[in-house]
Amino acid sequence: MIQLPAGFHLRRDTLARSVVVRRSWPVFLDLCVAGLLLACFYAVVQIARYWNSTPRTDFAISLSPHALPMYAFFSIVRIGFAYLLSLAFALIYGYIAAYTPRLEGLMLACLDILQSIPVLSFLPGVMLAMVALVPGHQLGIEMGAIILIFTGQAWNIAYSFYASLKAIPRELTEAARIYNFSPIQRFFHLELPFATIGLIWNSMVSVAGGWFFLMACEMFILGSRDFRLPGLGSYLQTAAANGDFRAITYGLLTMIAIIVATDQLLWRPLIAWSDKFKFEQTESSNRVSSPLLHLLQHSTAISHLRQRTLRPVSEFFYRTSYKRRAIQHQQPASDSTVQKVLRYVAAGLFIGIVLFAATHAIVLLREVQPRQIGMIFLGAGATFLRVFAALLIGSAWTIPAGVAIGLHPRLARIAQPLAQIAASVPATAVFPVLLVAIVKAGGGLGIGSIALMLLGTQWYILFNVIAGAIAIPSDLREVGRLFRFSTVEKWKVIILPSIFPYLITGLVTASGGAWNASIVAEYFRLKNQTLSTFGLGAQISAATDAGQFPVLLWATIVMALIVVTINRLLWRPIYRIAETRYKLSA
């Protein structure tokens, strides 16, 4: 008798069962998808009704838990729109920067500076403009908030897309050229896929940053006007001001739930999906898996939908773009002079507008008294010391903790998810609560502001240190054990040099974040009293409050200059040393 290989029956059996599963699942999956679509429809209706309502600057924020889901929903929609806006901007900006050699340098410098400008300084201008633009609707204030969040999100995504475009391997670009890909085909077949992974990771960072500012700008005062948007941020601020601990707990729990849900329902499926865009020769073993992605990919309804909508549209595009090119081939470039003139006119107009705005801004700047300017620089010094203190305290606890987590896998399994949840709660959401506690304990905003900076930025250092510690090769550690290094020696020779590049990356991000946070941290309204401490951030916030635009402009420029200067003169050289001397890979 022929011996069947072991497990043969078993395999046939499981095969049969999997066929059954494949048959019965799609119906269920389709039901899920239908449910999702219905929910989306309801959400759109709700948003439309709310945005069309007349503006109510003095929205009473209800502290009832029943109001929370709606508030949370509004906050999410705000973030969502701001993110989509950022993404669209980033793709266009990155594309132009990468393919227009004449503008490339200028556009990159712009990104660098825009990244350093404190976002919250834009708040009054943007708000007033938007309210004026869309009078009579809640939409105006809402758009202001969205644009504000956008200004905090767009730059790093744009930079990531630009860098990806520049890093496309030459042979792939040549393949696209030799086969005459149209710009559309090149974008969807080559450029966008190649940039996808970078875009997703940067989007995660950006959205987290978006929450930070959303919490701050859902409730603010501009001159005599008190703007309130129904949302999670205003809920938490009101709850803290009223000292309602039950509401605070509900609010924070909702916040955490939203963040965990975004992670599970959005980022994880995206990361799992983006695995196919990895530019690698072999398949990696540890892949992120996502049930939701599985659902979407295996739903017959969705694949039918794609067959009916996306396919024909893309086919149409490819056909027309080919035809257009064929026509172009027959009648080569004709009207270059008209185009050239148009381009010069456009450039001239643009430069004119910039010059006009710049001169007016300079006139505005001259209104400020020399004494006030002196105060601004003194304030900058105070904030600098605060940022420095926050970084120092942050490093003091995160370096040992991070190294411990990184070197002990068992500890990492417990600590890392906890740290991730803690880090994902935007510091501005916790800040009102924390501040009430500090004030009760007799402290002032001087300590409070450092605490907020710490709250927002220490995670960057921690996660980078953990990554660095994990990356220490085990043979290096074994050398340390072999030669019986003392603890001091071990840190000096092995650990600190190994984590150095990672630590610097963390500190650079943390430093930028701390400067930006100072605007929220140094000046705060609680109930009806205003807490503030001396510093550049407080000056920006106070100027915003009082509507003193010249001072606001001065302070903003000073802060941007400081951040750019510190980046150029301090971080960049250190970073270069880290990259050349302490990089572990050959």
Partner 1 sequence: MQPAIIRAERVEKYYSQPSENRIQVISPTDLSIVQGEIIALLGPSGSGKSTLLRMLTGLSTPSAGQVYWHEAPIQSANVNVSIVFQSFALFPWLTVLENIEAPLKARGVDAATRRKRSLKILDTVGLDGFQAAYPKELSGGMRQRVGFARALVVEPEVLFMDEPFSALDVLTAENLRSELLELWHKRTIPTKSIFIVTHNIEEAVLLADRIIVLGRNPGHIRTDFRVNLAHPRDRKAAAFTQLVDYIYKVLTQPEAPAPALPNINGRRVRDQREMKYQMLPHARPGGIAGLLEFLLDHGGKSDIYRLADDLAFEIDDLLPIVEAASILKFLTVTEGDAAITALGTEYANAEILRQKEIFREAAVKNVLLLRQIVRALQSKSDHTVPEDFFHDTLDEVFSEEETVRQLETAINWGRYAEIFDFDSTRRRFTLPESALAEPESTFADAPEVEEEEKDKQETGL
Q: Which residues bind partner 1 (CB under 8 A)?
A: 169, 171-172, 174-175, 177-182, 185, 189-190, 193, 196, 276-283, 311, 315, 318-319, 321-323, 326, 329, 332, 577, 580-581
Beta partners for 532?
523
Identify the H or E element spanning 227.
strand 225-228
**Are 386 and 450 contacting, i.e. CB atoms less than 8 angstroms apart?**
yes
**Are 434 and 453 contacting, i.e. CB atoms less than 8 angstroms apart?**
no
CB of 323 to partner 1, least distance (A): 6
CB of 277 to partner 1, least distance (A): 5
What is the CA 175 to chain-centroid distance, rounded?
Answer: 34
Closer Cβ to partner 1, 474 or 580, answer by number: 580
Q: What are phi and psi of 579, to 5 degrees?
A: -70, -35
CB of 169 to partner 1, least distance (A): 7
Rounded CA-CA distance 268/282 in Å is 22
Could you give the 3-state DSSP secondary structure of residue 379? helix
Find all residues with CB under 8 Å of 269, minimum gap 6, and list them: 290, 292, 293, 296
Closer Cβ to partner 1, 226 or 315, answer by number: 315
Rounded CA-CA distance 60/511 in Å is 36
Closer Cβ to partner 1, 191 or 522, answer by number: 191
CB of 239 to partner 1, least distance (A): 46
Closer Cβ to partner 1, 187 or 534, answer by number: 187
Secondary structure tally for the chain: helices H, strands E: 25, 4
**Alpha carbons within 13 A on the beta-carbon side of 486:** 2
Rounded CA-CA distance 430/424 in Å is 11
Closer Cβ to partner 1, 192 or 434, answer by number: 192
CB of 60 to partner 1, least distance (A): 51
CB of 156 to partner 1, least distance (A): 23
**Are 539 and 379 contacting, i.e. CB atoms less than 8 angstroms apart?**
yes
Closer Cβ to partner 1, 393 or 584, answer by number: 584
CB of 191 to partner 1, least distance (A): 11
CB of 314 to partner 1, least distance (A): 9
Judged by phi (left if over 0) then psi (alpha if -120 to 50, else beta), residue 408 lies in beta
CA distances from 17 to 11, 14, 30, 297, 315 (A): 10, 5, 21, 20, 38
Rounded CA-CA distance 464/303 in Å is 40
Closer Cβ to partner 1, 18 or 24, answer by number: 18
Closer Cβ to partner 1, 279 or 377, answer by number: 279
Rounded CA-CA distance 537/533 in Å is 9
Rounded CA-CA distance 499/7 in Å is 49
Closer Cβ to partner 1, 318 or 549, answer by number: 318
Closer Cβ to partner 1, 66 or 329, answer by number: 329
CB of 496 to partner 1, least distance (A): 17
Closer Cβ to partner 1, 18 or 52, answer by number: 18
Structure tokens, 216: 């701050």
CB of 325 to partner 1, least distance (A): 9
Judged by phi (left if over 0) then psi (alpha if -120 to 50, else beta), residue 570 lies in alpha
CA distances from 324 to 139, 183, 394 (A): 41, 12, 59
**Are 148 and 122 contacting, i.e. CB atoms less than 8 angstroms apart?**
yes
Rounded CA-CA distance 409/336 in Å is 64
Q: For the chain, report the end-to-end CA distance as a whole number of angstroms.
A: 59
CB of 328 to partner 1, least distance (A): 11
Closest CA to 511 of 388, 416, 377, 353: 388
Closer Cβ to partner 1, 21 or 326, answer by number: 326
What is the CA 83 to chain-centroid distance, rounded?
Answer: 8
Q: What are phi and psi of 524, to 5 degrees?
A: -145, 140
Closer Cβ to partner 1, 22 or 56, answer by number: 22
CB of 268 to partner 1, least distance (A): 19
CB of 176 to partner 1, least distance (A): 8
